[in-house]
Amino acid sequence: MADQTHDAPLLEARNLTRRFGALVAVDDVSFIVEKGQVFGIAGPNGSGKSTLFNIITGVPFRPSSGQVFLSGQPIERLRPHQISRAGILRTFQKDAEFATLSARENAYASAVFCGQSDSRSAHAAAEQALDDVSFDKGRRDRAAWALSVFERKQLMIASAIAGRPKVLLLDEPAAGLTRPEIADLARLVRTVHERGITVVLIEHVLPLLLDVSQHLMILNQGAIIASGKPQEVVRNPLVMEAYLGKREAVL
């Protein structure tokens, strides 16, 4: 088995499709994420980006058809907690932390959920993750609901990395941030990446994607319309037309 998976990419989606009745939210999507990449995903509202994360992680549903491989191993039939523990963690577009738990407790809960049964090592992982995202040490005992928007983003990422993922899926982390905060978020994504975590980043903020991604994939109506080097992809006429509905440069 080890021989077969030796050269496998870290994450591979093969012909992933998700239907909701007559709607094909994700339509025969295949892509490869290599270890160490920041892999960007963009596309208009409703193009299937979040559904793609949903079916990769099994939260809250599986693909209608197609396969997902982590280091060559099929995972699409695993249960959500098994997928997390295998090394794929995600953040959500909307706040998903436990509002009444502190930042520390949230990161700790994530470490435990991801399989760190020894409480001392789970606490250490939580603290390290909060350090990694430069979370203010004086505010770690605050309830999540009392944090600023940017602190909640830091916490969301810290909670994910406390679970020690191989691949971190970020769903529109820049939503609701100011321009200076987006620059801080870019630094945060780079820090996570430098810690050896491969990142798949869904974003509407194209300058952020261009800043941090090595590869960019564009979805439209559930299907891939362009995929490749970010600077080339945003100049693709299909992307200009479908993404903004007009034949102008996206940037």
Ligand X SMILES: Nc1ncnc2c1ncn2[C@@H]1O[C@H](COP(=O)(O)OP(=O)(O)OP(=O)(O)O)[C@@H](O)[C@H]1O
Residue ranges that bind ligand X, judged by CB under 6 A: 20, 23, 25, 43, 45-51, 93
Contact 169, 5 (CB under 8 A): no
Helix 149-162 to helix 119-132 angle, to the nearest 10 degrees? 140
Closer residue to ligand X (CB): 71 or 93: 93
Q: Looking only at residues 90 through 129 of this chain, which bind Mg ion when binding is defined by CB under 5 A?
A: 93
Closer residue to Mg ion (CB): 24 or 124: 24
Closer residue to ligand X (CB): 64 or 191: 64
Closer residue to Mg ion (CB): 42 or 129: 42
Q: What is the per-residue burial (b if ≥16 Cβ within 10 Å, else e) of 174-213?
A: beebeeebbeebbebbeebbeeebbbbbbbebbebbbbbb
Q: What Å distances lie between residue 210 and 52, 164, 183, 214, 217, CA to CA? A: 21, 26, 12, 8, 11
Minimum distance, C-beta of residue 153 to Mg ion, in the bound complex (Å): 16
Minimum distance, C-beta of residue 49 to ligand X, in the bound complex (Å): 3
- For Mg ion, the binding residue among 17, 47, 50, 91 (CB under 5 A) is 50
Angle at 51 between CA 46 and CA 56, to 5 degrees: 155
Minimum distance, C-beta of residue 245 to ligand X, in the bound complex (Å): 15
Nearest to 39 by CA among 179, 212, 164: 212
Which range of residues in 36-44, 48-56, 100-108, 193-201 is near Mg ion by CB under 5 A?
A: 48-56
Cβ atoms within 10 A of the Cβ of 219, count?
26
Give the pair of three-digit tokens for residue 190: 């780079």
Does 54 sit near Mg ion (CB under 5 A)? no
Which of the listed partners (ligand X, Mg ion, none) does 251 bind, with a CB threshold of 5 to 8 Å by partner kind?
none
Does 220 sit near Mg ion (CB under 5 A)? no
Does 51 sit near Mg ion (CB under 5 A)? no
Does 84 sit near Mg ion (CB under 5 A)? no
Angle at 214 between CA 209 and CA 216, to 5 degrees: 55
Which of the listed partners (ligand X, Mg ion, none) does 47 bind, with a CB threshold of 5 to 8 Å by partner kind?
ligand X
